[in-house]
A and B are shown apart, each in its own frame.
Chain A
Amino acid sequence: MRHRPRSLCKILPIGQPLRPPPATVNTLSLAFGEAWAMIARADPKLLEIVALSLRVSLSAVVVATLLALPFGAALAVARFRGRDALVVVLNALLGLPAVVVGLAVYLLLSRAGPLGALGILFTPAAMVIAQAVLIFPLIAALARQSVADAWREYAEQLHSLGAGPLASAFALLHDLRFSLVTIVLAAFGRAIAEVGAVMIVGGNIDGFTRVMTTAIALETSKGDLPLALGLGLVLLAIVLALNVGAHLMKERAQRHHG
């Protein structure tokens, strides 16, 4: 070691007199103030944005779940050539950037694109599609893993009961329903938290396609950091409330019939 890390002292203010707190501290407390004020006065603009966020993301979760759970389960129990490759691809898609999904859906739905005739670009419907595409791999890949694990355990039993692959897949999905709730919640979290896709296909139109995340991005670009962070805190509170609700429901149901 020829070089001693002398510069560290420069980076960390070791032994330096205390400076006034940096502006970020101020911004943070301001953000909490903003968040609280917005909630306390039930800001109509905020309620509208929150309602649209929930509507879009819940719709996307419903659509994606209905398609992805059977798909994941089928992939777990079916045997066909190329299945392993498909599983690998599906798992890789978990890393799909939201902005790429947004761009792809944009090009599909654009008037100049193959589905342009629908005329749904820059509408909530387009946002639902983009988010559904985004979370489909998440639900399908995780459901496939859960079902595959259970399948290894119960395959013989299900065979002996004379259940075909399709019936087995649905029996396992039903059996795993409690852990699938967690997967669906994770998917909802990804959907409502993403900004890249809805910004592109929704256009962040005031009062029409503006959701929590695009509103946060907008306020950040206006330099109103406390308001942006305040909206972020509200978003966090909503997601937390939904998770608590789902958890309680799951606990109760599990206690009723283990």
Chain B
Amino acid sequence: MALNRRAFAALAALALACAPALPLGAQDKSIVVASTTSTEQSGLFGHILPMFTRKTGIAVKVVALGTGQALDVGRRGDADVVFVHDRPAEEKFVAEGYGVDRRDVMYNDFVLVGPKSDPAKAAGKDITAGLKAIAAAKAPFVSRADKSGTHAAELRYFKQAGVDPVAEGKGTWYRETGSGMGPALNTASSMNAYILADRGTWLSFRNRGELRIVVEGDKRMFNPYGVILVNPAKHAHVKQAEARAFMDWLVSAEGQAAIASYKIGGEQLFFPEAKG
């Protein structure tokens, strides 16, 4: 029975090793924040969250999704706080009673990225002119198409440019990938296509290939981020005190300074916006 004994010992050892994985989620002070890929993948959270945790002892668990999905996670009560960037969708979320106490936190901006050779002649400081040129040239354009904040902004700009990309270019030059910012950038890089990206993700993105920024600095490309508490009246388990501590810290002088101090290659990614 040597095998049995050994197998039993191995199983017992395994069970011990596994034990820490099993306690049912009862963590002392922590909150779950549903946020966007742009804040997580740009490295902002890695920079500011340790400061908050050091100060308050509250661990922040970030689930990074597209804005639409992050709001849905909040709606279902699976997060304590949502931290996203799509003002119309955020206001709807609050109006429907899923969230309360929305606050402006910071902003960054979108950039239109495209091939260095700029075949559509889209370069400039005007996002609608750039998108019109791309549509006219039928140059490949990669869309997130995932109901993210960036996707919503892209559709807004196309509308302002008087272009209906889905009707005019679906299946030809307008390519809907249904993926996050990073994967969509990878796709654009390999197709040498145009794409709308948030500056943070673009700056920290490594696989750029032949891509560069073609349009930036248009005031309309301002991209504000808001933080919302998931309504405790709808979801009683929301850790209100800890969540409010996090929101208060984000808009405090200290939190705002932390956000402003995050830089990649000397370039500031996010700009404080909180009032008071």
Question: Measuring CB to CB, which residues of chain A are less than 8 angstroms from any residue of chain B?
Answer: 52, 54-56, 58-59, 62, 110-113, 116, 118-126, 128, 177, 203-206, 208-209, 218, 220-225, 249, 253, 256-257
B78 and A59: CB pair below 8 A?
no
Judged by a CB distance under 8 angstroms, whether B37 is at the interface is yes
In the complex, what's the smallest C-beta–C-beta distance from A20 to chain B, in angstroms?
A: 15
Among A125, A222, A225, A253, point to the contact of B25 (Cβ < 8 A): A125
Question: Can you sample 27 A-B contacts with CB below 8 Å?
Answer: A55-B17, A58-B17, A59-B18, A59-B22, A110-B76, A111-B76, A111-B78, A120-B25, A123-B24, A123-B25, A124-B22, A204-B63, A204-B64, A209-B61, A220-B183, A221-B41, A221-B182, A222-B182, A222-B204, A223-B189, A223-B207, A223-B208, A224-B206, A224-B207, A225-B206, A253-B2, A253-B3
Q: Are B78 and A122 in contact (CB under 8 A)?
A: yes
Note all chain A residues with C-beta closer than 8 A to B22: 59, 124-125, 128
A111-B22 Cα distance, complex, nearest whole Å? 19
Q: Given contacts A62-B14, A122-B63, A204-B63, is CB(A221)–CB(B180) below 8 Å?
A: yes
Tell me the minimal C-beta distance from A149 to chain B in angstroms: 22
Complex interface bits, B5-47 against A, C-beta within 8 A gives 1, otherwise 0: 0100001001101101111110000001000010001000110
Shortest Cβ distance from A124 into B: residue: B21
Provide the residues of chain A in CB contact with B18, threshold 8 Å: 55, 58-59, 62
Residues of chain B within 8 A of A58, CB atoms compared? 14, 17-18
A121, closest chain B residue (CB): B78
The interface residues of chain B lying within 8 Å CB-to-CB of A111 are 76-78, 235, 237
When C-beta atoms are compared, the residue in chain A nearest to B26 turns out to be A119
B155-186, CB under 8 A of A: which get 1 and which 0? 00000000000000000000000001111011
Contact B61 A119 (CB under 8 A): no
Known: A56-B21, A223-B207. A253 touches B76 (CB 8 A): no
With A111-B77, A112-B77, A204-B64: A223-B20 Cβ-Cβ less than 8 Å: no
Q: With A110-B76, A203-B63 in contact, is A221–B37 under 8 Å at CB?
A: yes
A126 to B21, CA, bound (A): 10
Nearest B residue to A223 via CB reads B207
- Chain A's closest residue to B3 (CB) is A253
Instruction: Compute how far the CA of A124 lies from the CA of B207 in the bound complex, rounded to whole angstroms.
Output: 31
Say how far B41's CB is from chain A's closest CB, in angstroms: 6
A123 vs B26: C-alpha distance in the bound complex, in angstroms? 9
Interface size on B, residues (CB 8 A): 42
CA gap between A144 and B11 in the complex, in Å:
22
Give 1 or 0 for each of B83-114: 1 = CB within 8 Å of chain A CB: 00000000000000000000000000000000
Kindly list 18 other residue pairs between chains A and B, CB separation below 8 angstroms, not including A118-B24, A223-B189: A52-B21, A55-B21, A59-B22, A111-B78, A112-B75, A112-B77, A112-B78, A113-B76, A116-B77, A123-B25, A206-B62, A209-B61, A218-B41, A221-B182, A222-B204, A222-B205, A253-B2, A256-B3
A223 touches B206 (CB 8 A): yes
Q: Are A225 and B207 in contact (CB under 8 A)?
A: yes
Complex A-B, nearest 7 residue pairs according to Cβ-Cβ distance, in ascending order: A221-B182, A223-B207, A111-B77, A203-B63, A123-B25, A253-B3, A59-B18
- Chain B residues with Cβ below 8 Å from A56 are 21
CA–CA, A224 to B180, complex, Å? 15
Min distance, Cβ A238 to any Cβ of chain B, angstroms = 14
Closest A residue to B22 by CB, please name it.
Answer: A125
User: Which single residue of chain B is at the shortest CB-CB distance from A245?
Assistant: B10
Residue from A128, A221, A253 with most neighbouring chain B CB atoms (10 Å): A221
Which B residues lie within 8 Å of A112 (CB)? 75-78
Bound-state CA distance A218–B46 (Å) is 14
Q: Known contacts A111-B76, A111-B77, A206-B46; decide if A221 and B181 are in contact (CB<8 Å).
A: yes
Cβ contact within 8 Å between A62 and B3: no
Among A58, A121, A126, the most chain B Cβ lie within 10 Å of the Cβ of: A121
Q: A112-B76, A221-B186 are in contact. Are A62 and B15 (CB under 8 A)?
A: yes
Partner of A222, one of B2, B41, B61, B78: B41
From known contacts A112-B77, A208-B61, A221-B181, infer whether A55 and B20 are also in contact, taking CB-CB under 8 Å. Answer: yes
Contacts of A62 in B (CB 8 A): 11, 14-15, 18
CB neighbours of A177 from chain B (8 A):
3
In the bound complex, CA of A220 to CA of B186 (Å):
8
Bound together, the chains give a CA A110 to CA B59 distance in angstroms of 21
> CB within 8 Å of A: which of B188-224?
189, 204-208
- Nearest chain B CB to A105 CB, angstrom units: 13
